Structure 1
Amino acid sequence: MILRTQPRKELPVSRKIVILVFEDAILSSTAAPIDIFSRSNEILHANQMPNGFDVVLLAPTPNTVALGPHSLFNCTLGLNDLPPEPAGHKHTLILIPAYAGHWDDVLEKNRAILPWLKAHYHCGTEIASLCTGSYFLAEAGLLDNQECTSHWASVDDLRTRYPSIKVQPDAVVTDNAGIYTGGGAFSSLNLILYLVEKFCGYQIGIQVAKTFSIHRDHINQAHFAIFNGLSGHGDTLILKAQAFIEDNFASNPSVEDVAEKVNMSKRNFIRRFKQAVNQTPTEYMQRVKIEAAKKSLELSQKNIQTVLNDVGYTDTKTFRDTFKRITGITPQEYRRKYAR
C-alpha cells in the first residue's frame, strides 16, 4: 500500500537523488523521475521554497550512456566517484530504474553495482527501485525478510530466485527502513510522487500529482496482472491437475475431484500442489475463474450475471468479492477500464 505522510510546516531539506544509468535501463524509468523531480523544484520555487532535489546521473563508470537509438545520458560520475562514507549520506537517495532484457545478462554486466549499493545502504543512504529495479536490491540482499513490490509479471521469478523476500504483487509502493520499491512500469511513478510528498510535504505532492495527472489514490496494480498457469515447477502430476482445473473450472470440480484425477489423497494433493504452485488448489481455481471472467468482460457484451455463471459462480456477492480481492477493482470497474 501507499502510506500517506503528514503535512510538513518546515522547509524541505534538499536531497541528492542519484539515478543509476546503465545500458539496459528502460528509458522511461530513467527519464520520467528526472522530469518529475525537476518540475517539483519549479513548484517549490513558485511556493517561495528552496529546491527539494539535486538530481545526479551516475553510471557504473563515467560515460555517455545510450538508452535506445535516440537518447543519450551524460553521466560524469561513476561508482568510484561516490564512495560510501562512514558518516553516511543522510540526505542522499539512490534510485534504480527498471531494466529491459534477461536478468542474468543484466546482472553479469552490472555486478559491481551490488557491493556499492550494500555499502551505501549500511552507511545510511536510502535506496529506491522502480519496477524491475528491485532485482538489484534483492540480489544485494537488501530485501531479505522485507516486503517489496515490482512488476506483476516478475513476481514468480523473484520468489523463485530470492525466497527470503516478501513480494507484495498488488502493492504500488513499499517503504521499509530506508528501502523503497515501486510497482510495474508507469505505476512505479507513484513511488516518485510518494517521495516528493514524503520529503517536501503533502501540498507540494498534490501540486506535482496534478501537474503530471498522476492519480494519487492508485494504490493497487493487481488489475493489470495477467494470470498464467505457473507451469515452471516441473511436477508432472500437478501440471496434469492444473490442466484439469483450467479445462473444467466452469463445472466447479471439488478438490477431491481434482485429486482423484491424479490418483492422490486429498491431503497429499493439497500439500504437493501448494509446494509446486505456491497456492492452494482452491486459490488456483479462483484465479483461473477470475482470469476467464476478465477476458469475458473485455471481449463480450454479456451482463455480469451471465459472466459469473459462465465461470462457475452462482452467488453475485461471492463473485464480486473474489474479483475485487484478486484484481483490486469491481467487475463493473474492470469492464469500464478495459472493455473493447
Structure 2
Amino acid sequence: MKHLTIIVPDGQSDLNSVSCIIGAYEIFTRANTYREEQGKKKLFTIELAGVTPEADFHHGLLTLKPQSDISNISKTNLIIIPSLERDCSKITKGNQLLAEWIVQQYKNGAEVASMCTGAFMLAATGLLDGRNCSTHWYAADSFRHLFPQVHLQTEKLITDENGIYTNGGGYSFLNLAIYLVEKYYDRQTAIYCSKLFQVEIDRQTQSTFTIFTGQKTHGDEVVRKAQTYIEDNLQEKISVEQLASLFATGRRNFDRRFIRATGNTPAEYLQRVKVESAKKTFETTRKTVNEVMYEVGYSDVKAFREVFRKITGISPLEYRNRYNREALV
C-alpha cells in the first residue's frame, strides 16, 4: 500500500490552507472507498503530518491536529503541500524542517504536489529550480521576484514534471486532486470523484480567471511612465518603436528593461492591458464585440479574437456570455 502525506504547515497559513488539506483528504479517502467498492484494496494510507502537535488557522478560528510528526514518517510516496498565507514574502522564512523533509523524501523517490501558494514552500526547497511551475495569478509577481530561477507559467492550471506537480490558485486545488487521483488510481476513479464532488475534470488553464494589474513595484521610472502611457491611450494603435522613441530609449534596451521590470515584453503588456479593459467592458455593458474591439484599439476582428483567446483561453463572445447576464437577454 502507498503512503500519502498531506502537510499541515507550521503557521504561515490561512483558511484556504485548511480547504486544501480537508479537500485533498476527502477526495483521496473517497477514491480509496470507491476502489474498495470495486473489490480492490485501497491504494493509499493517508496521513496529515506536521512539526507541531496542533496548528492554528486564521488567528485560532480553526485548529488542526496532525496525525503524525514528519519525523515519524521515514518513507512516503506522495506529498501534498497546501496553500499558504497570502503575504507571500513571509512564506520562505519558516517551515524549514518541513522543507528539508520534503527534499529528503523526494530524493528517496516520493512525488510532491503543491496547491496554490504552496508553490512558495516547494520553490524554497530548490526542487523547482529550472522547472515549470504554476501558482495563483495573484501571487505571480512576488513569486517571480523571490524565485527567478523557476519557470513560472501562471496560465497553466497544472504542471507535471519529474514527479513534481503544481497548480493554480484558489479552489483549483480540487482539479489537482482529481488529476492526481487519475495518475495514481485510474481514469474511472477520477471521473467518479469528479462527479461526486462536482469538480470539472480536465480543466487545463486558469487564464479565464486572471485579473491583469501589471507589475509596478519595480524601480524603473521610464518603464512605469510607459505603462501609464499605454493604460491612458487604450484606443491608440501603439507600437513598441513609438514607445521606445517617446521615452528616448533604444528599442533593444527598452525591451530588456521592460521585461526585467514587468515580466512581460512591451508587446505582451500592450495586449494584456487592452484585453483586460475589454474584459471589464464585456462584464459591465451590453456592447458588441466589434464596439469593444474598437475601444481598445483593434480594427481587425480576427486579430482581436486571436489575442483575446490567447490571453483568456476563450473567445470574446464566450467571455461576454459567461460573465454578463444582461448580454444574454
Q: Which band: TM-score by shorter chain?
A: over 0.9
User: Who is 1:124 aligned against?
Assistant: 109
Q: Secondary structure at 2:159's aligned position in 1?
A: strand
User: Who is 2:25 aligned against?
Assistant: 34
Cα distance in 1 between the residues matched to 2:231 and 2:33: 53
Q: Secondary structure at 1:145's aligned position in 2?
A: coil
Given candidates 146, 149, 163, the residue that maps to 1:161 is 146
Structure 2 residue 37 is matched with structure 1 residue 60: no
Cα distance in 2 between the residues matched to 1:37 and 1:298: 37
Structure 2 residue 15 is matched with structure 1 residue 24: no
- Aligned-pair RMSD on alpha carbons? 1.6
Cα 1:272/1:72, change in 2 over 3 Å:
closer
Cα distance in 2 between the residues matched to 1:280 and 1:203: 43
Cα distance in 2 between the residues matched to 1:276 and 1:54: 46
Q: Secondary structure at 1:329's aligned position in 2?
A: coil
CA offset at residue 70 of structure 1?
4.9
Cα distance in 2 between the residues matched to 1:317 and 1:15: 51
Q: Secondary structure at 2:217's aligned position in 1?
A: coil
Bigger relative contact order, structure 1 or 2 (CA pairs below 8 A, ≥6 apart): 1
Q: Secondary structure at 1:75's aligned position in 2?
A: coil
Cα distance in 1 between the residues matched to 2:304 and 2:227: 21
Cα distance in 1 between the residues matched to 2:95 and 2:253: 43
User: Who is 1:99 aligned against?
Assistant: 84
Given candidates 276, 279, 282, the residue that maps to 1:294 is 279
Cα 1:275/1:109, change in 2 over 3 Å:
closer
User: Who is 1:44 aligned against?
Assistant: 35
* 1:107-146 map, 5 Å: 107-146=92-131
CA contact (8 A) 1:172 1:188 kept: no
* 1:250-289 map, 5 Å: 250-289=235-274
Cα distance in 1 between the residues matched to 2:89 and 2:279: 33
Cα distance in 2 between the residues matched to 1:15 and 1:334: 42
Normalising by structure 2, we get a TM-score of 0.92
Q: Secondary structure at 2:12's aligned position in 1?
A: coil
Task: State the Cα deviation string for residues 267-306 of structure 1 (Å, max 9, x = none).
Answer: 3322322232222211111111000000001111101110
CA offset at residue 217 of structure 1?
2.7
Cα distance in 1 between the residues matched to 2:165 and 2:240: 39
Structure 2 residue 39 is matched with structure 1 residue 71: no
Q: Secondary structure at 2:78's aligned position in 1?
A: strand
The unaligned stretches of length 5 or more in structure 1 are: 1-13, 84-88
Cα distance in 1 between the residues matched to 2:172 and 2:64: 23
Task: State the Cα deviation string for residues 173-194 of structure 1 (Å, max 9, x = none).
Answer: 1111111112111112111101
Q: Quick check: 329-338 or 229-238, which moved more?
A: 329-338
Cα distance in 2 between the residues matched to 1:135 and 1:170: 17
| Aligned amino acid, residue 54 of structure 2 | T
Task: State the Cα deviation string for residues 52-72 of structure 1 (Å, max 9, x = none).
Answer: 2221011113x1223345533
CA contact (8 A) 1:96 1:130 kept: yes
CA contact (8 A) 1:15 1:53 kept: yes
Cα 1:281/1:302, change in 2 over 3 Å:
same
CA contact (8 A) 1:182 1:189 kept: no
Cα distance in 1 between the residues matched to 2:139 and 2:61: 27
Cα distance in 1 between the residues matched to 2:178 and 2:105: 23
| Aligned amino acid, residue 77 of structure 1 | S
Given candidates 206, 218, 234, the residue that maps to 1:233 is 218
Q: Secondary structure at 1:216's aligned position in 2?
A: coil
User: Who is 2:192 aligned against?
Assistant: 207
Structure 2 residue 313 is matched with structure 1 residue 313: no
Cα distance in 2 between the residues matched to 1:152 and 1:323: 17
Q: Secondary structure at 1:231's aligned position in 2?
A: coil
Cα distance in 1 between the residues matched to 2:319 and 2:259: 29
The unaligned stretches of length 5 or more in structure 2 are: none
Cα distance in 2 between the residues matched to 1:322 and 1:236: 28
| Aligned amino acid, residue 25 of structure 2 | I
Cα 1:267/1:126, change in 2 over 3 Å:
closer
Structure 2 residue 184 is matched with structure 1 residue 193: no
Cα 1:71/1:331, change in 2 over 3 Å:
same
Task: State the Cα deviation string for residues 130-151 of structure 1 (Å, max 9, x = none).
Answer: 0110111111100011111111
